[in-house]
Amino acid sequence: ETGVTQTPRHLVMGMTNKKSLKCEQHLGHNAMYWYKQSAKKPLELMFVYSLEERVENNSVPSRFSPECPNSSHLFLHLHTLQPEDSALYLCASSQVSGVGEKLFFGSGTQLSVL
């Protein structure tokens, strides 16, 4: 069992649909992250939760709504997306202690918006 699990692996949705991405970490970490990975662009940090509180929201459109019900689970709720939102969405976790800890990533959800 991998440390960070993301579902679904692939998702195709219309612009009017509502869907959710799920992430679960089994590592006992205290922080979780959503990243967007688009072709030929650096990874873009979307949201960060530390101790279940949102500590970072990088000017992400409101059509993306995160939820962190506990330290092991993270969701990204999607509604009325645009075609340019098609990308790989990566979840990560870490144990934050201020000394440059590494991130543990899931395998991502490949999202296609039609």
Partner 1 sequence: AQTVTQSQPEMSVQEAETVTLSCTYDTSESNYYLFWYKQPPSRQMILVIRQEAYKQQNATENRFSVNFQKAAKSFSLKISDSQLGDTAMYFCAFLNSGGSNYKLTFGKGTLLTVNP
Point out which residues bind partner 1 (CB under 8 A). 2, 31, 33, 40-43, 45, 48, 50, 55-56, 88, 90, 92, 94, 96, 98, 100-103, 105-108, 110
In the complex, minimum distance from the CB of residue 13 to partner 1, in angstroms, rounded to a whole number: 19
- 47 contacts: CB under 8 Å, gap ≥ 6: 33, 34, 54, 56, 57, 58, 60, 64, 66, 76
- Choose between 106 and 113: whose C-beta lies nearer to partner 1: 106
Residues 6 or more apart whose CB falls under 8 angstroms from that of 95 comprise 27, 28, 29, 30, 31, 101
Question: Degrees (nearest 5) of the Cα angle 49, 102, 100?
Answer: 90
CB of 60 to partner 1, least distance (A): 13
The nearest distance, CB 18 to partner 1, in angstroms, is 24
DSSP classification of residue 61: -
CB of 102 to partner 1, least distance (A): 4
Q: Select 1 or 40, whichever has its Cβ closest to partner 1.
A: 40
